Amino acid sequence: MADITVEGRGADAYRVTITEEDSATTHDVTVGAVDVARLAGGCPPEDLIVASFRFLLEREPKESILGRFDLMVIARYFPEYPAAITGYLQ
């Protein structure tokens, strides 16, 4: 299983590192407070980001995930994302 870490980088910006065995990828992600509230209710943005990367990793390898994107772009590639994400929140 992948280890997903999220580090805040300023307003609405985060660096995500995915580590599996001996390899890792990094991803720069943005997500606004409105989107966090809509998708994750009262959860912190970091929890939504981890859940979103768990969602992505079930569908593609970490190397296929974009290096820089806004979290809402996921719905463009996976239309089920907004409805499914609550099932990934811890």
Question: pLDDT tens per residue, the chain (90 residues)?
Answer: 799 999 999 989 999 999 998 999 999 999 999 999 999 988 999 999 999 999 999 999 999 999 999 999 999 999 999 999 999 997
Q: What is the pTM of this model?
A: 0.94
Q: Residue 35: count other Cβ atoms within 10 Å of its Cβ.
A: 17
So what's the pLDDT on residue 25?
Answer: 97
β-bridge mates for residue 18, sequence order = 4, 25
pLDDT at 52: 98
For 57, the domain range is 3-88
User: Which of 39, 50, 43, 37 is closest to 1 using CA atoms?
Assistant: 50
| Number of domains observed in the structure of the chain | 1
pLDDT at 1: 79
